Amino acid sequence: MAVLEKIRVKFGVAASIIIALGLLSFIVDPSQIISSLQSMSSKNDVGEINGKSISYNDFQADVQEMTTVSELLSGSSAQGAEAQAQARNAAWQNLIYKHLFVRKAMDAGISVGEAEVVNLTTGDNLSPLISQNPVFLDENGNFSKDQLSAFIQAMNADQSGSYRIYWNYLQNSIVNNQYSQKYNSLFTEASFVNALDLRNEVADNNNTTDVNFVMIPYGYQIDSTIVVSDNEIKNYYNSHKKFFRQQASRDIEYVVYEVVPSATDIEATRQTVADAYEEFATTDNVKAFLLKNSDRSYSEYWYKKGELNTVSSDIDNFVWSGDAKVSDIITKGNSFFVARVMDTRMVPDSAYVKHILLQGTDAAQVADSLVNEIKKGENISNLAASHSLDSGSMADGELGNIGWMTQSYMIPGFESVFMAKTGEPFVLKTQYGTHVVLVSQKSKPVEKKQVAIFEKESLASKETFNSFYAQANEFATKAAGSYENYRSAVQELGVYSHPVNNMLESSESLGSIANTKEVTRWAFDNKAGKVSNIMTIDNNYFFVATVKAVHKEGYATVNEAASVIRQRLEFEKMGQKVAEEVKTKMAGQSSLETIAESLNASVSSQSGIAFSSLNSQGLDPAFIGALSVAPEGKICGPVVGQVGVYVFQVTGRDTGAYYTEDDAKARDAQYSSYNTQMIIPVMMDDAEVKDNRARFF
């Protein structure tokens, strides 16, 4: 238990150090999902990695291991939705390493031996995951083999198996890191730029071109004489099929009824606030009143002028104008507010705080003793080194220094530091233990006020809720059966149908409405033309949806890709046609000015164009490539670009020396780094990894 308490303390007081892949809890009731997974078909797999099917149960087992580690460190199993999602991502990453990356690394001849792992975990060449792990640091913040040994002994005696899970997690992370470092080094060392390539790279960046040119833009109107046949579209599709790979998606339409309070509901809320106004204005226990009656709880925050604008500008104006203590009822949207000024003081924005953390039955006695020593002149940092359980607070390099605290950057329980006297140590207690605290500096105090805010938002009554449901039910009844019925209901009832194209299975929102996973799941479980029953989201929105089209995972069909292909081919043909017209009109012309006149265009100029910077100059790559090799002084073109056709004349070239070999090497290093970052994504694409987590979460 002592080791467990040490782990929690080290990860609880200061900012937690998240090592390796991230340790986050994930809580779910498996019975809610398992009941629907009666078969062993691939539809019920979380995914497939390198040919290995990942079942829901196997995935949950991996997530649960991370949950155990997180609970061991934090002492809490309470986690929000964001933390749950991060836990699933970390578990998925582990599986990618296990079934794909490590195997590919081994195929490349890379290995991580048992003796190597022992050396990295308990030997002379410790991994940073061990040597920098707060669990294995002594009171001075240094790695301690004694702490490591104590953990291993506790692990062997731990009946729950939690310590073993954590140790296995560390070892697995270390092994993965070793494989990653070794495999990445293959790419880093192989990314060799020889002397000739380096010289060419420097020259490409230092050699620039000045040019005069005429550009005939395509515009956005396609020439009606340009025709793209179905056969041309099909041939292009067959030649470029790899560009039309797609994720599974759905095209849907939906009608949504948002439940909003009626005028009657809003007036009832205003009356509720009015009835409680006098009690709020006079009660001695404002905190209890707000807890019982208000949507907003009591806050001891000290507000500066202007800060309450985030709640209501009328509240801020009231608080900082006049001497009245309680405002009238203030209306903002469907909410009503009453503000009561509780106190006014000169309060600093920040305080520099030092502390010593103590725990145990004698913590209070030890704290009093340390306060006396500090008052006698003893340095608090020296005392923190020998007594504090918090080895992570070392602002400005001194142990015990938490640093500058503000109201928004505050350890819970330390709020009193703003009122504390500078240089006088005192004792306070928090959820972490007993603290000896010293405020060494403060910013200049400014006038601030504590304000209690009685807030009540108007909510839809049962009658209002039912009226919106009745509207949704009328639409659903008329729309039932087919897409045609859905469209007829839209026209008949005069409602707006929201179109959504290419909605992915991972989609969790529609427009500004969040938590619409139920609509997404329905769409992926139904065929084109189906119409849903009413789906209630957050008890505040009624959805009726229809599936317009189903796009399967793999390659888009020719019909699905036709519009994109047609547009591309039309522009290609447009470029060819414009180029032929330009070529005809420029025949016999001897200057860009006369060519521009015949084309009803103007001559433009650009200087300092470098071939190596194709995307940074706002010019067509085809144009830049052509002028980089064109003879100086000669009229060249036409060149077909992406946005128009060019006729140009190189007017000069210059060779600088501002781009050096060091610059070239730095950019090559960036490319190499990018290549290593793409290793796993490319592996996943090559192995056709299927990630079906969105079906379940």
Question: Beta strand 207-217 with 513-514: parallel, antiparallel or unpaired?
Answer: unpaired
DSSP string, 443-508: PPPEEEEEEEEEEEE----HHHHHHHHHHHHHHHHHHTTSHHHHHHHHHHHTPPPEEEEEEETT--
DSSP string, 203-256: HHHHEEEEEEEEEEE--SSPPTT----HHHHHHHHHHSGGGGEE--EEEEEEEE
Q: What was the pLDDT predicted at 75?
A: 58
Cβ(401)–Cβ(394) below 8 Å:
yes
Structure tokens at 623: 């144009």
Q: What was the pLDDT predicted at 15?
A: 32
Cβ(210)–Cβ(652) below 8 Å:
yes
How far apart CA 629 and CA 651 sit, in angstroms, is 13
Radius of gyration, CA atoms only, the chain: 34
Question: Beta strand 335-347 with 330-332: parallel, antiparallel or unpaired?
Answer: antiparallel
Q: Is the peptide bond before 638 cis (omega within 30 degrees of 0)?
A: yes
Q: What was the pLDDT predicted at 632?
A: 95
How far apart CA 520 and CA 693 sit, in angstroms, is 13
The H or E element spanning position 45 is strand 45-49
- Calculate the alpha carbon distances from 243 to 48, 88, 176, 421, 554 in Å: 23, 30, 33, 68, 11
How far apart CA 675 and CA 190 sit, in angstroms, is 11
How far apart CA 112 and CA 114 sit, in angstroms, is 7
Cβ(430)–Cβ(353) below 8 Å:
no
DSSP helix/strand/coil, 614: coil
How far apart CA 595 and CA 573 sit, in angstroms, is 22
- Calculate the alpha carbon distances from 618 to 220, 274, 352, 613, 621 in Å: 19, 62, 50, 10, 9
How far apart CA 618 and CA 575 sit, in angstroms, is 19
How far apart CA 91 and CA 98 sit, in angstroms, is 11
How far apart CA 193 and CA 649 sit, in angstroms, is 34
Q: What was the pLDDT predicted at 76?
A: 60
pTM for the predicted model, two decimal places: 0.70
Q: What is the mean pLDDT of each run of 10 residues along the chain (697 residues)?
A: 43 35 35 38 81 92 83 65 81 94 94 94 91 80 85 85 88 94 87 84 85 90 86 96 93 98 97 98 97 95 95 96 94 97 96 95 94 95 91 85 92 92 95 94 95 97 97 98 97 97 94 95 96 97 97 92 93 93 92 94 91 68 91 95 94 87 84 87 92 88
Q: What was the pLDDT predicted at 71?
A: 72
